[in-house]
């Protein structure tokens, strides 16, 4: 039996990955992390979407220690999300160590249930400047988990080389475009669906959706070319 663990935030990218995983694996588990993020609504959205899609199990883990260590606009209500990069070249929404922690814990969960894959929606094409969304980081984490647990495991990144328009196309391929558009939470200001329309995450999401809706055939062909 092919089993997978999906790192699941309830946002566009992870929901698209979850929808695809349910088609590709016999048993799919979702794992969501509560790290005191800016909007608790994220957790509620993730729970609702996971239930609707019918995953085998959905684990919500308290990792509040990350909030204590990582100061970011996503972990502090008094730090507004900025459109500008910081002096270090990173956006102030970057949470240092977040994906290191998440993938480690997801890998442990996969070990316990005998899953062959951990799936995450990170993407280098539209990675928003986050270093822990790049392919080199994923390969390094995959190697560390395999060596550290002495067990084969694949970190699968279906969106790694897709732009946002192609990510919308992938959701549409699995008849989930309306679900992703209306019921996920990607907005940094906590607005479900199309979001606030102003934060960097909403801009990226909206631009990708418009590109896809304006050029469906072209974008879908580009997705298929990358999938082959």
Known binding residues are 8-18, 187, 196, 199, 202
Residue 29 neighbours by CB under 8 Å, 6+ apart: 3, 4, 5, 6, 55, 56, 57, 58, 59, 109, 113, 115
- Angstrom CA distances, 30 to 36, 37, 172, stand at 19, 18, 21
Q: Which of 102, 167, 99 is nearest to 135 (CA)?
A: 99
**The tokens 């890998």 sit on which residue?**
107
Specify binding-site residues for ATP. 8-18
Quote the CA–CA distance of 149 and 130 in Å, as a whole number.
26
- DSSP per-residue codes, 29-87: EEEEEES--S-THHHHHHHHHHHHHT-SEEEEEE-THHHHH---TTT-TTSPPPSSB-T
Specify binding-site residues for Zn(2+). 187, 196, 199, 202
Structure tokens of 92? 């102030």
């Amino acid at each position: 039996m092919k089993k997978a663990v999906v790192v699941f935030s309830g946002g566009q990218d992870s929901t698209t990955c979850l929808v695809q995983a349910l088609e590709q694996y016999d048993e799919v588990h979702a794992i969501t992390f509560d790290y005191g993020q800016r909007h608790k609504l994220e957790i509620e959205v993730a729970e609702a979407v996971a239930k609707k899609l019918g995953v085998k199990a959905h684990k919500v883990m308290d990792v509040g220690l990350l909030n204590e260590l990582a100061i970011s606009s996503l972990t502090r209500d008094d730090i507004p999300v900025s459109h500008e990069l910081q002096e270090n070249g990173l956006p102030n929404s970057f949470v240092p160590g977040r994906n290191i922690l998440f993938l480690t814990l997801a890998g442990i969960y996969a070990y316990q249930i005998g899953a062959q894959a951990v799936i995450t929606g990170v993407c280098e094409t539209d990675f928003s400047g986050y270093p822990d969304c790049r392919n080199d980081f994923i390969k390094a984490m995959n190697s560390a988990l395999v060596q550290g647990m002495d067990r084969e495991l694949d970190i699968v990144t279906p969106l790694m080389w897709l732009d946002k328009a192609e990510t919308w196309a992938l959701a549409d391929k699995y008849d989930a475009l309306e679900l992703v558009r209306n019921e996920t939470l990607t907005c940094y200001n906590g607005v479900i669906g199309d979001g606030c329309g102003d934060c960097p995450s909403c801009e990226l999401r909206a631009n990708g959706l418009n590109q896809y809706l304006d050029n469906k055939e072209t974008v879908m062909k580009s997705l298929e070319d990358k999938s082959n």
